[in-house]
Amino acid sequence: MPACSSSAAVTAALPATPVPGLAGGPVSLSVVGQTGGATQAVAVQGSYAYVGVGMQLVVLDVSNPSAPRPVGVSDPLGGDVLDIAINGSLAYLAAGGAGLFVMDISNPAAPGIVGAYQAPGFAEGVAVANGYAYVADGPAGLRVVYVTNPAKPVEVAAAFQLNYVFGVTVAGTQAYLAAAGAGLLVADVSNPASPVEIARMNTPGFAYGIAASGQTVYVADGWGGIRVVDVSDPFPPADRGAVPTPGWAMSAAVGGSQLYIADAGAGIRMMDISNATTPRDLGGLQFPRGHAQRLAVSGSRVYVADRNAGVHIVDATTPAQAVQVGSYSPLGFAAGVAVAGNYAYVGGHVSDGMRVIDLSSPSHPHEVGAFPFDPAAPLVGTVVTAANGFVQVSTDHTDYTVDVSDPAHPKGTEHGYPFGTTRNQVVQGGLMIQANEWGLHLINISDPLSPCELNFMNFRAGDSLGGGANDYGNPGRRGFVR
């Protein structure tokens, strides 16, 4: 950013505006709306993908996989959606500390909650079979919930209550559990109201997810890759060894004679399991800056829930040459926010850029525009300020001025790398003050598209251990630095 000329003038700062409601004492706050968050779950049925984005279920029309289109979104559930099981017109959502939710998806444009079960632990995963939901309830083990009346789910039994359970799948009369450091657990659920703990098998890694095909179970064992277990006789299960993966195996799904693995930072892997106990690696596909958490398979397409980047739609017709054909990228990480009028401007990591959120209906905020950051930048924290029809965005990598006069099509200008990482900034009139670990930048933004530096106040001169400015308030009147 260039220095201002000696003749530069700055418009006088506006007087401070008091915050409504604070003069009378404490203010009661409650959540009325939510949007965005990590994408951690996905399920597919017909032409729709059901995606867990933060605390909401988002329904995507994937009839055109190259252009998935959001058509519906649920109310926030109070906990992140970590797993989804579909059964007909109902979706069962494991939502962490908020428990299990049963949602009517008969109208994809308006998914609605019809019932809920407050699990005692932390609902990590869910499977549904024969009128029962099997909840992988984190520190509370396996919970068996009767859901024949979806409006009134009722817990009828529990098993392995002293184990932390991340994932569950049900095959026949057995429930197979991915139980973190304990490995694989097996419960006989031929009578769901009275499950019997029948087997345990330790695994070398950390069991996050599980899939079953016939008499073989595949444990997504974190750094231990895929553990292959023969359960033709579960007393005890027979360990058939492991197939390493380049990342951390987080979850797995079976599609025909192939096994698909969400492999965290290494993307997805595909294996031929036509010989069930001897999987053969077929290749994979990595997503830049991604973290593949869960996946769903429909025909030759794989839908990947990526914590960092949303949903990837992959054509795996030829696994060795799998190719991404579409994506859905909601706001994943909010590092900074500014509000002006009916819009919120939210800055996140480099994969998020800056998003424009319409707040005209506070209970249903929705994204209307986006401005991308430099893709070569590192993952960055973001400070955002909005004033006079422009948004000032400061990151660890560079500064941007974004014209938001058309919220659906924000346009920005990059201003180069600032001296020090910006921690906070304020704008009043034509003056912007940035507080960073070195001190204060005073910037003239009378012409928002051509900012220039008026001065820099270095609070760390001669101090190798630091100090710096982390906050600043009320420019033009009095500054507060700490």
Q: How far apart are CA 333 and CA 394, in angstroms?
A: 16
**Domains of the chain as residue ranges with CATH:** 39-328 (2.130.10.10), 331-458 (2.40.128.630)
**Residuewise pLDDT in 10s, the chain (482 residues):** 677 776 666 665 555 556 555 566 677 777 788 899 999 999 999 999 999 999 999 999 999 999 999 999 999 999 999 999 999 999 999 999 999 999 999 999 999 999 999 999 999 999 999 999 999 999 999 999 999 999 999 999 999 999 999 999 999 999 999 999 999 999 999 999 999 999 999 999 999 999 999 999 999 999 999 999 999 988 889 999 999 999 999 999 999 999 999 999 999 999 999 999 999 999 999 998 899 999 999 999 999 999 999 999 999 999 889 999 999 999 888 888 989 899 999 988 777 888 999 999 988 899 999 998 877 766 666 788 887 788 888 887 778 889 999 999 999 888 765 566 778 888 878 888 888 777 888 888 888 888 888 888 877 654 443 445 554 444 443 444 44
Q: Walk across the sheet containing 251-255 and list its strands.
A: 251-255, 258-262, 268-272, 280-285
pLDDT of the residue at 293: 97
Q: How far apart are CA 102 and CA 154, in angstroms?
A: 12
Q: How far apart are CA 232 and CA 303, in angstroms?
A: 30
pLDDT of the residue at 177: 98
Is the model's pTM score more than 0.85? yes
Give the pair of three-digit tokens for residue 339. Answer: 């509000």
pLDDT of the residue at 133: 98
Write the single-letter amino acid at 27.
V
Burial of 18 (0-12, 13-18, 19+ CB in 10 A): exposed
pLDDT of the residue at 19: 57
Which of 26, 2, 20, 17 is closest to 416 using CA atoms? 2
CA 186, distance to chain mean position in Å, is: 30
Question: Cα angle at 309 between 308 and 311, to 5 degrees?
Answer: 125
Give the pair of three-digit tokens for residue 279. Answer: 């999987």
pLDDT of the residue at 349: 79
pLDDT of the residue at 12: 52
Q: How far apart are CA 356 and CA 373, in angstroms?
A: 14
Q: How far apart are CA 472 and CA 433, in angstroms?
A: 8
Q: How far apart are CA 238 and CA 259, in angstroms?
A: 19
pLDDT of the residue at 9: 63
Counting runs of H as helices and runs of E as strands, what totals does the chain give? Answer: 0, 40
